[in-house]
Amino acid sequence: MAQEAIHDAPARASLIYDPKVRGIVFQVVLVALLVMGVWWIVDNTIENLRRSNISTGFAFLRGRAGFDISDRLIEYSSDSSYGRALLVGVLNTAAVAAAGIVTATILGFLVGVGRLSNNWLIRKLATFYVELFRNIPPLLVILFWYQGVLALLPNVRDSLSLPLGSYLNNRGFYFPRFVWEPGAGLVLAGFIAGIVLSWYVARRAKARQMATGQQFPVLLTSLLLIIGLPLLAFLLAGLPVSIDYPQKGTFNLTGGTNVKPEFLSLYLALSFYTAAFIAEIVRAGIMGVPKGQTEAYSALGLRSNLGLRLVVIPQAMRIIIPPLTSQYLNLTKNSSLAVAIGYPDLYAIGGTVLNQTGQAIEVVVIFMVVYLGISIVTSLFMNWFNTKMALKER
Amino acid sequence: MKQLAMGILSAAAFGFVATAASADTLDDVKAKGFVQCGVNSGLAGFSAPNDKGEWTGLDVDFCRAVAAAVFGDGTKVKFTGLSAKDRFTALQSGEIDILSRNTTWTINRDTALGLNFAGVTYYDGQGFMINAKKLPGVNSALQLSGAAICVQAGTTTELNLADYFKANKMEYNPVVFEKFEEANAAYDAGRCDAYTTDQSGLYAVRLQMSAPDDHVVLPEIISKEPLGPSVRQGDDKWFDIVKWTYYALLNTEEAGVTQANVEEMKGSDNPDTKRLLGTEAETKIGTDLGLSNDWVVNIVKATGNYGEIFERNVGAGSPLKIARGINALWTKGGLQYGMPIR
């Protein structure tokens, strides 16, 4: 506002020379052009659709889908609606993205730290991994897993038997499923109680250490609580579980839980591919912490793993989180490559819906809104996490 | 938020408008000098590139016939290989002028999708194929309960499959691929127990398997699949040309006009043949259609009549060796019936 003080002194010249007025005029003209452009596009589209007798609107979502989907997290049959089919696709996309993000993060951190290791072999292996996966297009990585690894597994009849009644064949990975019986609620209650108690113990231990300097074995106690309490409840309730083992049927293994090769290859490919990028981000983050910090914790007498955990990593996280968010978004968007191997994600199912109904514009709008929605939720969460980790000035 | 919504809508709409269909396809086709034809990216007998890289097949020859009718030259056609999922969008958006891609004529496609089917170039039905070596006991589709079945996305096949298993109270596990080639490869690799598509397609797919003799086509036909070329709604002139090209192919077969004898037949005294080949005095049949009066002669010179196209691509003269069956002319007990050209 200091500028106005300078401006108001002399008599006003023509409005054309007033930068403020000119600014507003340009903005108005730009907005008007934009609105006209959009209006023209929309009008033209509607006109063309009308002329070729293609119906418009989202009413088609209530129609009967008529096709089946193999991988689904919610109840769905060919009698369900197109809307439900798309929901199945959204959940499948979310499932593979969530699983991929968790694995990619863990793998990425391991490899990233490995690249800074003092061990020559680990360092070189980590470098090799990063260079390999970072320089291959994700679609190729997916096809590698699907056609190069999982398709070469034996047929159903010669399934590989794994421990605990699991099987591996070219139809996927089969493992026994726990069927919970009445009383299983107690086990869940025990598990939740374990988590809550661990959290409480951690808080108290921290407060005590702050006050007295005495330490408390938090990790051990937490593990004991989280595993021990449900186990105790399990025994008390009288083993309320039966196990459904996969068995050989006429064509496939029936029973148990089946993770299909389409999901597996997409999940593995996205995890391995994105982990290479995350590894580089982690390495950059750690290297971005000034050397003085390492020297400082050594001077304080902290051992190197403790110093890494308490001094270097918290500072590195501030550098790591923002680019990590982009990688999570990339992973989510890359999941649409599922269409190449027949995993029914949003894009694959949406494509089928588009084809059966001919509602191209509507389906593409749904694609955009859903991917935008998933990405925005991821961003919001990561921004929140970033603020939490950011340097707090006291 | 409003800005966002508008942005999305305009982005979505833009692709559609940029290539939006003009109302007069014939003028467009004449102006650009060739017919753009959407075909299957690789289905032996219907549309597949041969060892010289030229497109061949029944669907391909139909497009050549249309090009011959318009330009008097069956080579003035360009082909776009399409997946089942992309085909309708390609036609609606004006990327192609004719869709001739073993596409089943259904009411939904004829109405809600804004297509017009010009005829049925091949009467087909959906069937199943299995690997008899791996599944020796199976000789009926009704034994397929619990099987994993490979199918192509966005087809009537996918819908018929769901209906058939539901009607027979059987379970199955669909493995759905976007591309024909991907579905073939997955079936060949043993990902699925059975493969389903139109029966003509099954015979074609069988030839592409690593061991064709291991595979058998099960006897059940579970649907009606009338396959034919289609065009956009709202352009009756172009629709007429495509439709009457199809009838011309049938009528020439009925009249005994072939690629070899068409020049000779032009001198025929038979009034029907004269009318068909445009040698009748003061004829206006071709010009009324927006073409030249020797359009039928051009078609037959380029591709031969329907019978010749059939035998060359899927019949006795091809590796598929499919019998004419219901695709014979009506005069020979089949369903192919050409409307009179007069």
Q: Where are the domains of chain A?
A: 2-51, 82-152+261-389
Helices (H), A115-156: 120-134, 138-143
Query: Which pair of structure tokens corresponds to residue B24?
Result: 């007069």
Across the interface, do A66 and B162 touch by the CB < 8 Å criterion? yes
Q: What is the pLDDT of residue B149?
A: 92
What is the Cα gyration radius of chain B?
Answer: 21
**For A351, nearest residue in chain B (alpha carbons):** B85
CA-nearest of B209, B49, B52, B67 to B129 is B209
This prediction has a pTM of 0.77
The two structure tokens encoding residue A300: 């304080």
- How is residue B57 annotated by DSSP? S
**Would you say B141 and B222 are in contact if contact means Cβ atoms under 8 Å apart?**
yes
Q: Quickly list H helices, chain B.
A: 2-18, 25-32, 58-71, 87-92, 107-111, 156-167, 180-188, 199-208, 236-255, 262-265, 271-276, 285-288, 295-303, 306-313
Domains of chain B: 2-123+227-332 (3.40.190.10), 126-223 (3.40.190.10)
Closest chain B CA to residue A69: B174
If you average pLDDT over every residue of chain B, what do you get? Answer: 88
Rounded distance, CA A339 to CA A351, Å?
A: 9
* CB atoms A45 and B13 under 8 Å: yes
Phi, psi for residue B217 in degrees, rounded to 5 = -90, 125
Long-range Cβ pairs for the range B319-326 (8 Å, 24+): B319/B44, B319/B207, B320/B44, B320/B45, B320/B200, B320/B203, B320/B204, B320/B207, B322/B45, B322/B200, B322/B203, B326/B123
Closest-CA distance, A331 to chain B, in angstroms, reads: 21
Q: Is A37 on the interface with B (CB under 8 A)?
A: yes
Rg (CA), chain A: 28
pLDDT in the model for residue A4: 52
Residues in chain A: 394
What part of A 354-373 touches B (C-beta under 8 Å)?
354-358, 360-361, 364-365, 368-369, 372
pLDDT digits (tens, 9 = 90+) for B213-243: 889 889 889 999 999 999 999 899 999 999 9
DSSP letters, A61-102, are GGSB-----SS-SS---TTSBHHHHHHHHHHHHHHHHHHHHH
C-beta of residue B102 within 8 angstroms of C-beta of residue B203: no
Pick the closest to residue A155 from A168, A164, A139, A140 (CA basis): A168
Chain B residues within 8 A of A348 when measuring between CB atoms? 153, 176, 178
Name residues whose C-beta falls within 8 Å of residue B52's C-beta, 6 or more positions apart in sequence: none
Spatial distance between the Cα atoms of B149 and B128, rounded to a whole number of angstroms? 9
A45 at interface of B, judged by CB pairs closer than 8 A:
yes
C-alpha to C-alpha distance for A288 and A116, rounded to whole angstroms: 12
Cα–Cα distance, A354 to B83 (Å, whole number): 13
| pLDDT of residue B18 exceeding 70 | no
Q: Tell me: pLDDT of B268 over 50.
A: yes
pLDDT digits (tens, 9 = 90+) for B237-263: 999 999 999 999 999 999 999 999 999
Contact A169, A153 (CB under 8 A): yes
B167 touches chain A (CB under 8 A): no
Torsion from C-alpha of B171, B175, B180, B182, nearest 10 degrees: -150
A 87-106 → B contacts, CB under 8 A: none
Q: A46, A370, A30, A327: which is closest to B8 by C-alpha?
A: A370
Q: How many CA atoms lie within 13 A of A14 on its CB side?
A: 2
Query: Counting one residue from A and one from B, how many pairs have CB atoms under 8 Å apart?
Result: 160
Question: CA-CA distances (angstroms) from residue B315 to B84, B322, B333?
Answer: 24, 5, 17
Listed by number, the residues of chain B in 46-105 with a beta carbon closer than 8 Å to a beta carbon of chain A are: 84-85, 87-89, 92-93
C-alpha–C-alpha distance, residues A324 and A118, integer Å: 25
- Are A365 and B12 in contact (CB < 8 Å)? yes
What lies within 8 Å, CB to CB, of A146 at 6+ separation is A261, A262, A265, A269, A341
Structure tokens at A72: 């689904």
Q: What is the DSSP letter of B97?
A: S
Per-residue confidence in pLDDT tens, chain A, 394 aa: 445 555 555 556 677 788 888 889 999 999 999 999 999 998 888 887 777 777 778 888 898 888 888 888 888 988 999 999 999 999 999 999 999 999 999 999 999 999 988 899 999 999 999 999 999 999 999 999 998 888 888 887 777 887 777 888 888 888 887 777 777 778 888 888 888 988 998 888 888 888 888 878 888 888 888 888 888 888 877 777 777 788 777 777 777 788 888 999 999 999 999 999 999 999 999 999 998 998 999 999 988 888 888 888 888 988 899 899 999 999 999 999 988 888 999 999 998 898 888 888 899 999 999 999 999 998 999 889 888 887 776 6
CA A164 from centroid of its chain's CA atoms: 29
Alpha-carbon distance B272 to B278, whole Å?
10
Interface touch B16/A48, C-beta < 8 Å: yes
CA distance A347 to A366: 10
Quote the minimal CA–CA distance from B279 to chain A in Å.
37
Interior/surface letters B178-203, b for 16+ CB within 10 angstroms, e for the rest: bbbebbbbbbbbbbbbbbbbbbbbbb
Query: CB B114 to CB A53 under 8 A?
Result: yes
**Nearest to B48, CA basis, from B261, B314, B340:** B314
Which pLDDT value is given to residue B2?
44
Distances (CA, A) of A12 to A23, A222, A249, A260: 17, 74, 91, 75
State the smallest CA–CA distance between residue B150 and chain A in angstroms: 10
Burial class (CB in 10 A: 0-12, 13-18, 19+), A89: buried
Please check whether residue A195 is in contact with residue A226, taking contact to mean a CB–CB distance below 8 angstroms.
Answer: yes
Instruction: With CB atoms and an 8 Å threshold, state whether A365 touches B17.
Output: no
3-state secondary structure A192-241: HHHHHHHHHHHHHHHHHHHHHCCCCCHHHHHHHHHHHHHHHHHHHCCCCE
pLDDT score, position A110: 94
On whether any CB of chain A is under 8 Å from the CB of B170, the answer is no
- Chain A residues near residue B161 by CB distance under 8 angstroms: 68
pLDDT single digits (tens) A49-95: 777 777 778 888 898 888 888 888 888 988 999 999 999 999 999 99
Q: Closest-CA residue in chain B for A363? A: B12
Q: Quick one: fold of A82-152+261-389? A: MetI-like fold (1.10.3720)
Nearest to B192 by CA among A34, A252, A279: A252
**Beta carbons of B182 and A361 less than 8 Å apart:** no
On the question of pLDDT at B92 being above 80, the answer is: yes
A59 touches chain B (CB under 8 A): no
Q: Where on the phi/psi map is residue B311: left (φ > 0), alpha (ψ -120 to 50), or beta?
A: alpha
**Which helix (H) or strand (E) segment is A243 a member of?**
strand A241-244
